[in-house]
Amino acid sequence: MKKLATIALASSLVLSMTACSAGSKQTAGTDASAGHSNAAATTAPKKKIEINYWYSWGDKIGENNENLVKKFNESQEEIVVKANFQGTYDEQHAKAQAAFAAGNPPEVWQNEIASIGVFAKAGMTEDLTPFVKKDQVDMNDFIPGLMGNSYVDGKLHGLPYLRSTPLLYLNRTLLKEAGLDPNGPKNWKEFEEYAKKITVPDKRVGITMPVDIWYYEAFVAQSGGKMISEDGKKAEFNSEAGIEPVKFLLKLKESGVAKIPTTDDAGNVAKLDFQNQRSAMLFSSTADLTKQMQVAKDAGFELGTSFMPANKSYGVPTGGANLVMSAKLSKEKQEAAWKFIKWMTAKEQTIYASSFTGYLPSRVSAVNSDEMKKLYAEKPLFKVAVDQLEYARPRPMLKVYPEIAKIVKDQIALAVTDPSNTAEKTIAEAGTKADKLLNK
């Protein structure tokens, strides 16, 4: 999953806005040439409504977005959607804020799930409830585990689109060579044993693992805790459930079986190590599945996936983005934007996007479809994330959570780079700072 961070607002794109026009009717008493002209105007095709769609991420994910937009445009004659790549979620969010300030926001865009509440409460996204009711969309068909980040104050501010959970990716070839079960470790104790047996000094570590708030949220959930209290007033990670994951990470690092980069490109470092077989395990999003399948094929090893290992229990946050509609659009633009959102999140497009990228199918009907059942039979790796949804949790959506996430990440990075920062001290300081933000 892709992280939230505080970044400078980028310049917004200039969006073209077109209006529909209609020809005038022929009136009595006009000459032949005028009648011909007016008749032509009357029968001229109605001008299509143009809307802009902003999306994040390239490679297979970008291809998926462009392909679906092309399919939508070809499926009907009323609307033209212009797809615009906007970088990471953080970059897209900053550009969206700038576009709203300039008065020309995109009609439809991807809102990373932890930021759904921030934009909804700022009045930047539309409540989709009336549209859902009018078209009688079956909301029970959306997988319940993916809906926790869709509602804000009881109103529907986004529909699940490209959604994910973190997975444990495995180099099954190296696991077999080390005499390990290629299906992967089931719990933290086994995970540590795997990392030790796979590690070859100066050649390979068990895992390269960046300091990442998404994975930390998973470790806290696995330890029986949560990030923020129900009333939004307390940092609940400031507890044994939040300390234990940091202790575990530091133990793996100090024993030399895990590499924990803390630079801005730490995620790419982890993926490169896995690709080059300098590590045998990788935590990454299910959105990376089709890419990692190609990586394994090119590198000549067998790829595996499994649940993130359990501590007291299994547990993962969901991730990815929902599709949202910008607020305060004209009636015409609203209708066009809704038709596009409804189409993009329908069963058929859900099947296509999941099969093409590895993202989770967001509809029950898609999971149960013949197409997905066939895919799961042929490529079982696609099913792992769906099964893991049983243990999925929504991410906090508080306005200050992006700041809290950065604080936690920075504090853990300090513990990794400076041995004087114990796990207890690290989390205590992060918790104190978080509580101040939560109670402003």
Confidence of residue 264 (pLDDT cuts 50, 70, 90): confident
Per cent of the chain over pLDDT 90 is 86
What secondary structure letter does DSSP report for 17?
A: -
Question: What is the pLDDT at residue 47?
Answer: 87
Structure confidence by residue, pLDDT tens digits, 349-380: 999 999 999 999 999 999 999 999 999 999 99
Strands 159-164 and 155-156, sheet pairing: unpaired
Structure confidence by residue, pLDDT tens digits, 196-255: 999 999 999 999 999 999 999 999 999 999 999 999 999 999 999 999 999 999 999 999
10 Å Cβ neighbour count for 300?
A: 8
If you write DSSP's letter for every residue of 242-304 in order, what string do you get?
Answer: HHHHHHHHHHHHHTTSEE---STTHHHHHHHHHHTTSEEEEEEEGGGHHHHHHHHHHHT--EE
Confidence of residue 19 (pLDDT cuts 50, 70, 90): very low
Q: Which residue has the higher pLDDT, 33 or 425?
A: 425
Q: Tell me how far apart the alpha carbons of residues 232 and 351 are, in angstroms, rounded to a whole number.
A: 36
What type of residue sits at position 16?
S
Mean pLDDT of 276-288: 96
- Cα 70 off chain centre by: 22
Question: What is the pLDDT at residue 127?
Answer: 97
Mean of the per-residue pLDDT values of the chain: 90
Question: What is the pLDDT at residue 145?
Answer: 87
Looking up tokens 């969010």 gives: 93
Q: Tell me how far apart the alpha carbons of residues 302 and 295 are, in angstroms, rounded to a whole number.
A: 10
Q: Which residue has the higher pLDDT, 173 or 45?
A: 173
Please give the radius of gyration of the chain, using alpha carbons only, rounded to the nearest integer.
Answer: 24
Which has the minimum average pLDDT: 17-26, 117-126, 302-311? 17-26
Structure confidence by residue, pLDDT tens digits, 398-429: 989 999 999 999 999 999 999 899 999 999 99
Mean pLDDT of 189-193: 98
Question: What is the pLDDT at residue 409?
Answer: 96
Question: What is the pLDDT at residue 200?
Answer: 96
Confidence of residue 30 (pLDDT cuts 50, 70, 90): very low
Mean pLDDT of 139-145: 94
pTM: 0.85
Structure confidence by residue, pLDDT tens digits, 58-82: 888 999 999 999 999 999 999 999 9
- In the chain the domains, ranked by start, together with CATH numbers, are 32-164+319-392 (3.40.190.10), 166-317+400-438 (3.40.190.10)
Question: What is the pLDDT at residue 46?
Answer: 77
